[in-house]
Amino acid sequence: MEALLRMSKNRSQLTSGRLFAVTFGKAESQKYAIYLNQQNQLRAGRLSNGDLLPFYSKVSQSKYGKPNSRWTLYDTGYFYSSMEVENVTDQYFTLNADGAKPDGRDWTEYAGGNVLGLTSDSMGQLVRKITPIMRDILYLELLK
């Protein structure tokens, strides 16, 4: 009976916001959100609002060897490697990165600030990936 009472008490203390914060406090959830931003979106030349990045110019292709494809904002890889999840709250998390370029531009501010973030498609994939993680956290929180 004591175990049931403890579970009941734990359940009353576990809000959806706390479950969200605990889930996105985990490295696995954070890494997947970053992966989706990089691989599903930026590598495909897509911004978080669904807009497409421009194609590399003919000059960039001939002079710098850029591919005949959309910008990916990869270049040296520094921008991608600097991405991290910040500000995990009980309602949201934010992605951040060091987007400073030598010429003073900042990739994180490009296109109205839509570089970092997830499209609705990526959000759907994130939900599918984290549902089992949330379920495990819920289970552990109830039993503690």
Q: Percent of the chain having pLDDT more than 90?
A: 68
pLDDT of residue 123: 96
The count of C-alpha atoms lying within 13 angstroms of the C-alpha of 3, restricted to the half-sphere facing its C-beta, is: 1
Give me the chain's average pLDDT, please.
90
pLDDT tens column, 77-133:
999 999 999 999 999 999 999 988 888 888 888 777 899 999 999 999 999 999 999
Give mean pLDDT, residues 55-80: 92
Q: How confident is the model at residue 4 (pLDDT cuts 50, 70, 90)?
A: low
Quote the pLDDT of residue 8: 67
116 burial (CB, 10 Å; 0-12 / 13-18 / 19+) is: buried
Contact 79, 97 (CB under 8 A): yes
Residues 6 or more apart in contact with residue 119 via CB below 8 angstroms: 40, 41, 46, 48, 49, 50
